[in-house]
Amino acid sequence: MTDGPEPIRAVPVRHPGRWVALAVIAVLVAMFVNMLVTNDAFQWRFMFENMFREPVLEGVKTSLTLTVYSMILGVLLGITIAVMRLSDNRIISTVAWFYTWFFRAVPRLVLCVLCGNLGILLQRIEVGVPFGGPLSRLTGLEAVDGKIWGADGNTILVGFFAGLLALTLSEAAYMAEIVRAGILSVDAGQSEAAQALGMSRGLTMRKVVLPQAMRVIVPPTGNETIAMLKDTALVAAVPVTTELFFQLSAIGSRTFQPFPMYVAACLWYVGMTSVLLVGQHYLEKRFSRGVAGQMKVRALTMGASK
Amino acid sequence: MVRAEGVRKRFGHLEVLKGISLEVAEREVMVLLGPSGSGKSTFLRCINHLEKIDGGRLSVDGELVGYRQSGDTLYELKEREVSRKRAEIGMVFQRFNLFPNMTALSNVTCAPVHVRGLKKDAAERRARELLDRVGLSDKADAYPSMLSGGQQQRVAIARALAMEPKLMLFDEPTSALDPELVGEVLDVMKGLARDGMTMIVVTHEMGFAREVGDRVVFMDDGVVVEEGPPASVFTNPQHARTKSFLSKIL
């Protein structure tokens, strides 16, 4: 029997630093757990009794609904603005730049308050011919008025819708930048190849560029969704009173036990964010089709099945 | 099929094409040779309007590329019309440019389905025929990243053929390939030439030019220096620049 080279037997490098770190962290964790258990201010029983009450669950629903709607609308508007930003048309790209500049510059909290008070600015909201009212007065023709639909600003632009409007407008500005980065990350050869096949620019964008850009767009969009879930707490300033944090702190101030309710808020947000993280994981997997790391696994399994 | 008269193109201050005049007949295979930077790829890209020309006239099948002439006035074509004309010209790129998020089969069916409005199953049947023709019938469900460079380029050729082009443009199709993979791509191109496809090929593969080319055009510094049948250009070049270029690569 011919022996190959002798296997290596060496003394592994010692890592004393790891043991020291472990000891320090163990002590800190023990102290923290001790505090959780022994400090009466936590009022665990009180917290669990109150964190699942009807208005709180209503608040969870409002926060989740706001997150979903504002993200969907924000992403759609963001894609539109990103495409506008990359347009050859100077006017359109300037408008898009202006939008992202403005809505990234204004804090979300301020935007929420502003949208909640838009009723002062727009007492009536009407859809029809621009300047239709003054025009028809000027010409004496009633047809020019062209009013299709109208409503009282103070009934629409309050509460939920005002909050949704604020969050959507703000989110679209951030999403536009994310989508733009994604589109720019796709090799120029891809759109050239698509155009050489006779695809129009719109078709190239939809079928070739955006699907590939998604791989770059999805991870930061996941972050945005998580940030949005937490920022729904801001709509309390609109005001939207059915929102989660508002409800929890209301219970806290009513019962003079604010701290347990703040802990409850932490737990609710941590829980909901964790669920979102799972969803993000699957989305990322879906949009990395055809990319090297993924393919290795697939190639191996395909080879094995033959 | 292709007719160029004094075609000019500049990028900023750099004039890349300084008046190219060429003609390619139907079923002809024209090989474009020349040192890098001589403008051959740019000229190829002008033919399907990926680059806009600045001067001269360029027409494919009797119709101007990118413009419509009425009397003495030229009108720029709308995007939709440009796309329609591009669909009739196949193009194969040096770096393949396959769509990495689609399987080989979807790469081939993509344009027929979305541009021509072909039914999906009809497009797939045709795509499988084409993949078979380039020798890749077993790779239909593979993603580009699972294929070798040579296989990717053959899928790219099948993708271009799926639009049933009347003219095929090849922009250094084998330059990005490992040497042992060059042959399989050239074989597919030879097959196309035998079937009577009109082809303009930018390449450094002299063997291919000699065997398949009906005509060789040598370009340098944005002008056509010399053209003729491969046999005479290769064995008896007339110009000093052609001679020195050929002596370096043959």
In single-letter form, the type of residue at position B23 comes to E
Confidence band, pLDDT 50/70/90 cuts, at residue A5? confident
Confidence band, pLDDT 50/70/90 cuts, at residue A290? low
A65 and chain B in contact, CB less than 8 A: no
User: Into how many domains does chain A fold?
Assistant: 1
A200 and chain B in contact, CB less than 8 A: yes
**pLDDT score at A279:** 86
- pLDDT tens per residue across span B69-111: 888 888 999 989 999 999 999 999 999 999 999 999 999 999 9
> Does residue A234 lie within any of the structural domains?
yes
Which secondary-structure segment (H or E) carries B234?
Answer: helix B230-235
> Does residue A81 lie within any of the structural domains?
yes
**pLDDT score at A292:** 52
**pLDDT score at A306:** 35
pLDDT surpassing 90 at residue A64: yes
> Does residue A67 lie within any of the structural domains?
yes
Query: In angstroms, rounded to a whole number, what is the distance separating the alpha carbons of residues B161 and B127?
Result: 9
B102 and chain A in contact, CB less than 8 A: yes
Query: In angstroms, rounded to a whole number, what is the distance separating the alpha carbons of residues A197 and A207?
Result: 13
ipTM here: 0.91
**pLDDT score at A303:** 44
Check if the beta carbon of residue B107 is closer than 8 Å to that of residue B145. no
On chain A, the residues whose CB falls within 8 A of the CB of B100 are 212, 290-291
Put the strands of the sheet holding B167-171 in their side by side order: B89-92, B167-171, B199-202, B29-33, B215-220, B223-228
What is the value of pTM for the model shown? 0.79
Contact yes or no for B115 and A198 at CB 8 A? yes
Best to test chain B binding among A186, A190, A197, A207 (most B CBs inside 10 Å): A197
Which of helix, strand or coil describes residue B6? strand
CA distance A96 to chain B (A): 23
pLDDT surpassing 70 at residue A301: no
**pLDDT score at A291:** 66
> Does residue A20 lie within any of the structural domains?
no
**Counts of helices then strands in chain A (DSSP H, E):** 15, 2
> Does residue A74 lie within any of the structural domains?
yes
Q: What range does the domain containing A96 cover?
A: 51-126+159-288
**Least confident span in A191-195, A286-290, B53-57, B137-141:** A286-290
> Does residue A304 lie within any of the structural domains?
no
What CATH number does the domain containing A183 carry? 1.10.3720.10
> Does residue A238 lie within any of the structural domains?
yes
> Does residue A78 lie within any of the structural domains?
yes
